[in-house]
Amino acid sequence: QLQASGGGLVQAGGSLRVSCAASGMTISSYHMGWFRQAPGKEREFAASIRRSGGSTRYSYYTDSVKGRFTISRDNAKNTVYLQMNSLKPEDTAVYYCGAALGFGGYTRLEDYDYWGQGTLVTVSS
């Protein structure tokens, strides 16, 4: 089970960190990702991180968040994080974490085997 938390209301230009805590599973076995779904839009890829994590070489971002968002993982705490800086109103969305057992891809919904319930991030202008 994946439990996302940390969402809230923040002003444009501000920062927020969302977390995804796993229970009943060990995230070190999974490639982990964050997706987001804005109102009236489809869920889209935001960021992902390899099993080994720990280095920027092993994290991936959609173009719209590169340089502003940072994904990280703490396998000892069984938790994945998404640090979001310089937030924009267009970042407003429900943020979902996912866990992928397979290898390759990781930008598609179907690449992921498990999902958390989502946490709402609202950025005001």
- DSSP character string of the chain: -EEEE--EEEETT--EEEEEEE-SS-GGGSEEEEEEE-TTS--EEEEEE-SS-SSGGGEEE-GGGTTTEEEEEETTTTEEEEEE-S--GGG-EEEEEEEE-S-S--SSGGG-SEE---EEEEEE-
Q: How confident is the model at residue 88 (pLDDT cuts 50, 70, 90)?
A: very high
- Torsion sign, CA atoms 121, 96, 54, 6: positive
**What is the per-residue pLDDT for 42?**
97
Q: What's the CA gap between 124 and 118, in Å, rounded?
A: 19
**What is the per-residue pLDDT for 62?**
97
Q: Cα dihedral angle (53, 67, 122, 5), rounded to 10 degrees?
A: 10
**Are residues 116 and 97 in contact, defined by beta-carbon separation less than 8 angstroms?**
yes
Compute CA 15 distance to the chain's CA centroid, rounded to the nearest angstrom: 14
Q: Over the stretch 29-39, which tens digit does the pLDDT of each residue have?
A: 999 999 999 99
**What is the per-residue pLDDT for 57?**
61
Q: Over the stretch 42-65, which tens digit does the pLDDT of each residue have?
A: 999 999 999 876 555 689 999 999
- Percentage of the chain exceeding pLDDT 70: 96
